[in-house]
Structure formats: C-alpha cells, structure tokens
Chain A
Amino acid sequence: MSYRTRIGSCAPLLLAVMSVPACTGIMSSPSGPSGPGFQSSDPAGVSADPASEAVSSPLDLRDPAFAGEDSAGGGMPLRGLTRAEYNNTVAALLGDTSAIANTWSAETPGPNGFLAPRPVSNKEVSEYMDGAQDLADRFKAKLDDSVLGCSVSTAGEEVCAKSFITSFGRKAFRRPLVNEEVTDYVGLWKMARTTSELSFQDSMGLVVEAMLQSPSFLYHWELGPKAPSLDGDGDGKLVALSSYELAARLSYFLTQAPPDAKLAGAADSGAILDLAQLNAHADRLMESGKAKALFQDFIAQLLNVTDFSFSEDSTMRAMDQSRRAFVEQNVWSASGSPDDLFLSSEFFVNGQVAGIYGLTGVKGDELVKISMDQNQRFGLLTHADFLAKTGHGNDSLAPRRGRAVWQNLLCGAIPNGLPAVPPEIPRDPTQTMREHFEKKVAPLVCARACHATLDPAGFAFENYGGPVWRDTDPTSGKPINSAATLKLPFGDLLTYKGPRDFVEGLAGSEELKQCLTRQMFRLAIGRSEAKGDLSGIKAVYDKYTSEALDIKALAVAVVSAKAFTHRRLNEGEVAQ
C-alpha cells in the first residue's frame, strides 16, 4: 500500500493561515478531519487485478454502467480488534466489563479511512500481555465447575481442561480450534499442572492468558492457520468467506462484538452461508437493538469525534453523550434519514453542554431533551463536538470544517496543490477569519484549488466560534457572513444564506446519499471500494434509496453485497 498518493495534496498549503493553527495540522488528525474519506492508491490491498483497481471521485452510482454483475473488488486486509471490539469480546467471553482496553494505544486510520488498531509494536504487545494477564487473573478467581462447564470431581481435571479449552477456544477464536492448537494448549495446561505443580486454577489461567494473546483472538481472521479456498464460480481470485468468517464479519460490523449463540450456531451448521439466512441474522441483530453500536461508531467516525468518548475531560464526554443520545433518537426512534440526522433540532443536553449552547435552564449531569433554536442548532453538524473539533479554539476554521463535510459526507476529491510551504501570512485583526482566508490565503496560486473547493463547505459554519453561536466576529467586530455557494462534487451549485440553508441543501443532495452508501460499504468490508465492487455498491444504493433513506436499511443492504460475503486473494496469498 502506498502512502504517497496524498503527497502534494493541498493540506500543507494551509500553513499560510498563520496566527491560526495552519499548515498540515488544520486538516489532519488528531484535530482535523482526516476521517473516513481517504483512500490509498491500492485500496483493496491487492494489485495487478482489474477488479481491484481504485475508483476515483466523483463517482455517480446512478450511472447505468454500474448495473452489472455483483462481485468483490478487493482482498481482506488483516485487521486487529479495536479497543471497543476487544472490550465487547472479553465481556462476551469472560463476562468482564471493565473496558480494559480503553487506555490502550488509540486507533489510527486504516485502509478504508476508518479507524483501525495500530500496527503492533512492543507497546501493543505489552498491552495485550498485561490485559491477558489481568483478565486471566479475574477468570481464575471465579473458576468453578459452572464456568468450566464440567465437573472436575466427576470427569477429572484433564478431561475438564480439554473440554474447556475446546469450548473456550471456539468462542475466543470465533472458529473451532485446529488439532495442533488443541494439542498445544492442553500441553501447556499439563506442563503447568504437573511439571510446574501449579494449582488447577492457575494452570487454567495460564491457558486462558495464552489464548487471549493469540492472533486468532486478536485479529479478525477466522480462517485460522489455513489457506483460503477459491470460489468455484469466480475468476480464479475470488474467495468465498467461510461460515465462521462470515458470522464474525456480520457480528462485528453490526454490533462491534463477537457472534452471539444463534449466529455461532449458524456458523457451525453452515447455514449462514445462505444469503437469506445471512440477511435474516442481520435483520435480527438490527431489530434487537444490538446494532446500535454500529451507528454510533459510523457517525462518530464520519464526524471525526471518536476521541471524545475516550477523553478524561468531562466536557468532552458530555458532548459525546449528547451526540450519542441524538443519534440513538434519530436512528432508532425516528426514521434514520438524512433529514433526521442533519436537521432535527431536538437535542439532548446536560448542564455542561447547555452552557456551551447558551442555555441557562439545564443543570446537572443528566441529559435532557430540548427543542433548540431551529436556525442555530439542527442535526449532527451543529452539535458541540463536531464544531469544537473542527473549529479553531473559539473561532471558526472554514477549511477544516469544509474538508470534513466535503470529504467525509460528500466523498469529494481534494485537488492537488503544490507541496511547498508558503510563507507566513499574519492575520489582520480587522478581518474576520473568513476574510482572512478569502483575501489572504485563497488567492495564493499554490492554495487556490484547495480553498476554492473546501472553504465554501465550511463558510456555512462561520456563525460558530468553536461550538458557540455568534453573530459578530469578536476579533474584528464585524458581522458574521455565512453565505456562500458550493460547487458539489457532481457539479451542481449549492447556494446558501446561512448554516441551516446549507445543511438543508446538503441533506437533500444526491452526493450525500451516495457518500453515505460508500462509507457504510467501506466500514463493512474494511477497505476502500474498488472497481469490482461498484455493481454491488450500486445495488446497495438502490436498496437504500428505495427504503426512504433509512440508515438502518443501508447497513442491512450492505450485507447482501458480494464484497461482504466474498473477497479476492490478497497479494502473495496462495489458495488451497
């Protein structure tokens, strides 16, 4: 995978802002929206395969050319469990709800632009070791026949140990253990129990500790130590996921957790390989509410605010809770449409968040549902977390905000510019931040293309100094101007008078619908889309638009795509 594809992007040009946090940092993590809009040049993780060629923006899914046979356009890059997935997995496996991974290394953008665990280095291995040790300690403390699922006094230690290793391993690895693995773990137990004379509990704890450090537990790869099998109907590079892989993919996509008992049963029997069964399980998980995790994560990543939930700062956590309540309300109790998500003025605030919104009547930590001023607060993009994250302290920052909207919600491409860093341009205090960009920065030859593209998507939020509404720029004393015209990725012009006007146009845009489709697809399959995926994505889009743009229907529709149930061989991978 090449990281060079973005060299020369416009990001460095924003250095010219000066007196504001300019340059590359404006648009990049951790403060900028470097979220799920990025693609590498080799998004599918394979090369020299026409189906795996990267697609370029803009891409209009209404194009009849995409209405061909569905296929899978890319491989399946190996991905570790995220912290949330790890926490949920050990909760399901051991009943441990301590969220032990919360303090571990934060995720970084993965091959699909969505966050993925860092490449494993010494620190991550230490975290896995520490975590496994602590979890095993707690496991040992409550180990009895009911946990073992076996009566030691009746069946004997070794029989119970082997039985536990087999059943625990099935859950931990999301697949049955291969014989070699059973031999290793039973051997470890025997060595600990006999040669080292550890107690039965300590010996079992050692086995659990080892399993929790296994890559089969830590990575999404339920194939085990086997080579993949080719799909007989494919082109020689197409692999059908095994029932265990498919069950795990579905479960982690929808719930960020391992398969439940029903799904595990369908994996064991192979029933999950039937598309109707797969869809039935997707519907079941959706209806049970277990899929709430998906939408919270999906939306937080689109807004680049995932870090708020891990923050130790109470105000950030309050903002996070406020947005989560809003998402839950509008995905589950409302229709889940863009209109609900981007335009509803029913907010959930506690005392801390209320202060940011200038509300005086709400006190305490409890979230309260409030009808906000419809011209100032509506939808996700006027929530405090997004505005704080993409603003500049107590000021606005049109390029950063514009980039978040343009790239993450419209799937727009970023024009390339010169990579050189221009000289500093101090901000004139008689100018608003917008005027600074319009008059001092954007006219620079080196910055023109980027700012012309991005800034109009950010000027709509000039009324928000950080997360706080304002009518006047406190630096220059001038009234705020939040009117502009944005050229959308498909070429239409969106002319707006203010933030509400802009977001209404955004929510109704074709680009948003298509972008949400593509982003959901990327999240589901763990990579960016490739040419071979486009027919499947189009089918997902058609289903989504036929179901009143309900984001829940979008998620279920993705499951039916061939790229969800199949993959191509990764480079260097050899099939059986």
Chain B
Amino acid sequence: MKIPAKYDRRLFLKQLGLGAALLPMLETEWAKADAGAPMRFMSFVVTNGMPVNNFFPTGAGTSFTMAGTCSLLEPVRSKVTFVQGLQFRTLIDVPFSTAGHHDFGGILTGMPVLEYSDPRSVCIAGGPSIDQHIVAELRKKNPNEGRPLLVQYLPGRTPQTSWTGARAPQTSESDLYRLYDTLFMQSGSSGGTAVGQEKLGKLRAARRSMLDVVGGDIARFARNLGRDDQERVNNHLTSFREIEKTFGAVVVDGGSYTPPRLTQTFSSTDVKDMPKYMDALVKLVTAAFASNVTRALNFTFGDSLGDSLSYPHLGFPRNPGISIYDGGSGVDHGEAHNNTKTHFEARKWLLGEFAKLVSSLDSVKVDANGKSILDNSVLYLTPHMATGGSHDVGRGIDMPTLYAGSLGGYLSTGRYVKLSGGRQAHNRLFHSFFKGMNIDAAGFDNMRYGGELLECKA
C-alpha cells in the first residue's frame, strides 16, 4: 500500500533520480490542511479470544487491580479503560448463525452483516467499518485526509475487517517493512540535486494525465458488462479514484517528529520474528499518527482462524519441523479453547506489546502542556470472539474490551467500566469515539443500537 502523499513524492523523486535530500523543499508545496488538534483512531483486533476469566480487573472505577493477562498494562494504567458488558450486535442481530471464525468481517462495522458462509470463509459486511467511516467523514471537511492504513499480521486468506461500505471489502497490507518503507521513504534516499518547481509541475501533470487515461479506461471497460461484473469493476474504479483523488495532496504536520529508520531485520511472515514485527508496528503507528499520514489505522493480529500463529519466542513453537505452517495447531486456535497456560502467556505478551504502543504514542508530545499523540487518540482493542472455545461474540460472555487514549480528554481513562442494564452493542462505544473525534455518526449504523456510552465519558 502506498499513501498517496508519499506516493506522489516517491514517484517524482524516482522518476527524476532524486532522493530524500529534496524532501524539505517539496514539503513546502503542501499546506497543513488541519489547524486544529487532529484526533486519531486505531483498532487492534486480536484473532480468537482472550482468557476471559483472567482479563477484566477486579474492583471498579479508578480503583481496580489488573488481571494477570493484562498485568503488563500496569505502567500505562492511567491511559487505559476496561469496558465490560459489550457484545457484537452486528453479528447477533442477523437471521442466520455467525458462530464461527469467519464472522471476522463484521466486527468493526455498524450494520448487521448481510451474509455469512463458513466454507467460503466469507462474511459480508452491511456497511462501512469504523476506520473507513471516520476517514470518509474527515474528508468532508478536508478532502486531503489520508486514507485509513490497514495492516494485518499473517492474514491468510480469511476475511478482512475493513469495509468502505456494504459488500466493499478492503484488503490489508501484511508486509510491514514494505509499508513503512513506502510511507517514510527509506529506500534510495541517497540525496540528489534540486529541481525546479516548474519541472515538477509538468511531471505532475503528465502523471495526472496517465491516471486520467487509466480511470477513463476502467469506466469504459465497465460499460457493457453484466450486473455483477459491473459492480466489481466499479469497485475497482472507486479504489482507483480514491488513490487518484489524493494524488498530489499531502497532509503532513511538519512538526518535529522524525520517523525512525527501520531496518529490515525481520520477516512479516515468519512467527519467529513476531517480536520484531510488533516492534516495527509500534514504530509504524507512532510515525503514521505523528506525521498525520492517516487518522485511522486498522490493525489485525492474525487471521480469523489463528492457525498460523505460534509463539516461538515464548517457547510455544509447535511442530517446529514445519515452521510457520503448523497444520492448525497454533496456540491461538488449538489451545485458546481451554484458557491454557500457553494461551494466557501468549495474550499476556500481546497486551504487553499493546502497552508498548500506548507508551510510544504517549512519548510524542504535541503541545507545551505535555499533551501527547496518545491523548488525542483512541486505541480500541478487542478479540474477534470472547473465547476461542465458545466462539461467543457477546451472547453469553462479555467481549473482552479496552481502549487507551482519551481523544483530547473526551473519554475517561484509568478506569474499569462495568456497564449496567444488560449487554450493550459495542457500536455504542464507537459512538463515544465519534463524539470525541467530532465525527458525524449518521450513515454508520443509523443509531440502531443507541448512542454513545455515557459511562465512558470523562
């Protein structure tokens, strides 16, 4: 995936044989589009479940004790809120069963899923996911907002969590190094000579013409197709226009944050490098938010089965003779069902990585009062089912849920919130996020599950 802004720069530089030395000059081309404090959203979806009996704290309100699975969150407890009493109504309020792994696709959307099929590994969302909705709304105010970043660790061939609308899935990027390299342009940054603005303008015009030809070609191609094929090509065209639209437009803070250099000392597909991958993810999210290349980031850890996941660094390699492919016996899938020690340790480690992400975002200050990127963000963490054993999506077990960051002080943090009055749709938590981000929720779920959760308001 390429972020259009950097994509644009990269294209020009590449064509001209120039490098990063030119960047500061190019930066001046682009105006900072958003003068207000930008709010950001990140979803952190974990395949399978949590050791749910060892997830929620004891106590209540601000006086709570972390459960063992979450113990590594202790250093950032003031930034985190646990929410107990949520369920995935988008998967429950449907006339068919979604009791399987492949309901993955419906967990970040506002509307009930439209279709579900296990054998084809398909879950068709009924509307946009929260990441896409946020960016769509932000673009109403600033058309140059970067599109959501979609990242998935070991995606397999299972459904995605991001949708631009009903039946319009978006595929995530799995090669983290490539994504980072593209965003922050590490490769070939060996310097170069300056080039005139006039020549850049001409280059830009040529590339725009090229995109115009391609866009026209796609539209012409769709003209005589049948219904389904036309829909397919129209989705192609929409994605193309999405990228084309932001060609040449950039939103960069221009602040003091400099993305760290990332070396490719890890593989995005080898579980042996999982800790390095997560370390790179922390750098990516921090850099992406600090540089404002996006305000919405959708991260999924594993596919909807979790079969590809094992944890060699924790001593759970499983079938080492076959390395990453373990025939479906990964810790997440094979042992999640019984809340075994391996599953507990794996989740404890992952939440520790989440804590590092929280700390990293909190380390980037955005004003003189010490407010951080984290303070202007919200990070929503959920598994895609309550426990792997039950496959429950909140019918009988509370979805293990937490968030970090306060969206500029709108949300309360450092708390353990137990909802009363029966389980609530997790969409209501999304409404709290929309409020904190000043995002219009219309079109997301039409308030079918109610509005924000006042219990989470500061």
22 A/B residue pairs, CB under 8 Å, sorted by A: A6-B119, A12-B100, A19-B338, A20-B329, A25-B101, A28-B121, A28-B305, A30-B308, A123-B150, A181-B217, A184-B216, A195-B206, A196-B202, A214-B221, A219-B221, A225-B220, A228-B224, A314-B323, A393-B328, A394-B329, A424-B337, A572-B227
Residues of B within 8 A of A15 (CB): 99-100, 391
Contacts of A191 in B (CB 8 A): 205-206, 209
The proximity string for A residues 1-42 relative to B, scoring 1 for CB distances below 8 Å and 0 otherwise, is 111111111011001001111111111111110100010000
CB atoms of B120 and A419 under 8 A apart:
no
Nearest CB in chain B to that of A468: its residue: B321
Query: B115 near A3 (CB under 8 angstroms)?
Result: yes
Given A23-B391, A125-B236 in contact, is the A109-B209 Cβ separation under 8 Å? no
Is A572 within 8 A of B230, CB to CB? yes
Contact with A along B116-133 (1 / 0, CB 8 A): 111111101000000000
- Nearest CB on B from A17, distance (A): 9
Stretch at the interface among B78-86, B164-172, B436-444: B164-172
Known: A25-B328, A121-B169, A421-B100. A78 touches B202 (CB 8 A): no
A475 CB to nearest B CB, Å: 13
**Other than the known A15-B100, A129-B243, what 8 A-B pairs have Cβ atoms closer than 8 Å?**
A8-B97, A11-B118, A28-B101, A30-B307, A78-B233, A389-B325, A424-B390, A572-B226
Interface size class of B (residues with CB under 8 A): 35 or more
Q: Which of A202-210, A266-274, A368-376, A437-445 has 4 or more CB atoms under 8 Å from chain B? A: A202-210
- Size class of the A contact interface (CB-based, 8 Å): 35 or more
Which residues of chain A have C-beta atoms less than 8 A from B327's C-beta?
A: 31, 388-394, 397, 466
Taking a contact as CB atoms closer than 8 A, the residue among B156, B228, B236, B305 that contacts A571 in the complex is B228
Counting chain B CB atoms within 10 Å of each CB, the highest count among A19, A125, A207, A424 belongs to: A125
Chain B residues in 8 Å Cβ range of A311: 269, 324-325
In angstroms, Cα B309 to Cα A440, docked, is 27
Interchain CB contact (< 8 A) of B333 among A25, A38, A207: A25
> Whole-angstrom distance from the CB of B220 to the nearest CB of chain A?
5
Give the one of A126, A198, A356, A466 with max B CB within 10 A.
A126
Task: Judge whether A472 is part of the interface by a CB distance below 8 angstroms.
Answer: no
Q: Which residues of B168-217 have CB atoms within 8 Å of chain A's CB atoms?
A: 168-173, 175, 178, 199, 202-203, 205-207, 209-210, 213-214, 216-217
CB-CB under 8 A from B322, the residues of chain A are: 313, 315-316, 388, 466-467
Is the beta-carbon distance between B120 and A23 smaller than 8 angstroms?
A: no
Given A30-B307, A392-B327, A124–B239 Cβ distance below 8 Å?
yes
The answer, among B221, B223, B240, B333, for a CB contact under 8 Å with A21, is B333
Contacts of B335 in A (CB 8 A): 19
Measured CA separation A400–B248 after assembly (Å)? 50
Q: Indicate if A130 sits at the interface (CB-CB under 8 A).
A: yes
8 tightest Cβ-Cβ pairs between the two chains A and B = A570-B226, A393-B329, A572-B227, A24-B100, A419-B97, A573-B226, A196-B206, A78-B229
B-contacting 9-mer, from A100-108, A293-301, A476-484: A100-108
Indicate if B89 sits at the interface (CB-CB under 8 A): no
Name the A residues within 8 Å of B239 (CB-CB): 120-122, 124-125
Question: In the complex, what distance in Å separates the CA atom of A98 from the CA atom of B262?
Answer: 25
Residue A460 at the chain B interface, CB threshold 8 Å: no
Contact indicator B99/A420 (Cβ below 8 Å): yes
**Which A residues touch B270, using CB under 8 A?**
312-313
Within the complex, the shortest CB–CB distance from A400 to chain B, in Å, comes to 8
**Is there contact, CB below 8 Å, between B305 and A184?**
no
A351 to B178, CA, bound (A): 33
Is the beta-carbon distance between B390 and A26 smaller than 8 angstroms? no
**Complex interface: chain B residues within 8 A of A7 (CB):** 96-97, 116-118
With an 8 A cutoff between CB atoms, is A213 at the interface? yes
A571 touching B227, Cβ below 8 Å: yes
Q: Which residues of A contact B228 (CB under 8 A)?
A: 1, 45, 77-78, 570-572
A107 to B39, alpha carbons, bound, how many Å? 35
Whether A21 contacts B206 by the Cβ 8 Å rule is no
Chain A neighbourhood of B229, CB < 8 A = 77-78, 570, 573
Q: Within 8 Å of chain B (Cβ to Cβ): is A265?
A: no
Interface string of B314-327 (1 = CB under 8 A from A): 00001101111111
A574 interface hit (Cβ, 8 Å): yes
In the complex, whether A75 has a CB less than 8 A from a CB of chain B is yes
B54 lies within 8 A of chain A by Cβ = no
* Contact with B209, one of A11, A180, A192 (Cβ below 8 angstroms): A192
A119 at the B interface (CB under 8 A): yes
A387 → chain B, closest Cβ, in Å? 9
Q: Does A355 contact B338, Cβ atoms closer than 8 Å?
A: no
Looking at the complex, which one of A106, A120, A572 makes contact with B236 (CB distance below 8 Å)? A120
Q: Give the chain B neighbours of A219 by CB distance below 8 A.
A: 221, 233
Interface: B254 (CB within 8 A): no
B435 interface hit (Cβ, 8 Å):
no
Chain B 323-358 interface 0/1 with A at a Cβ cutoff of 8 Å (1 = within) = 111111110011101100000000000000000000
Give the residues in chain A near B65, CB-CB below 8 Å: none
Bound state CA distance, A467 and B321, in angstroms? 10
Enumerate chain A residues within 8 angstroms of B1, measured Cβ to Cβ.
122-123, 126
Q: How far is the CA of A307 from the CA of B157 in the complex (A)?
A: 10
Q: Is the C-beta of A55 less than 8 angstroms from some C-beta in chain B?
A: no
- Measured between beta carbons, the chain B residues less than 8 angstroms from A19 are 334-335, 337-338
Q: Cα distance A393–B333 when bound, in Å?
A: 11
A322 to chain B, nearest CB (A): 13
Chain A residues with CB under 8 A of B390: 421, 424
B215 to A, closest residue via Cβ: A213
Bound together, the chains give a CA A109 to CA B101 distance in angstroms of: 17
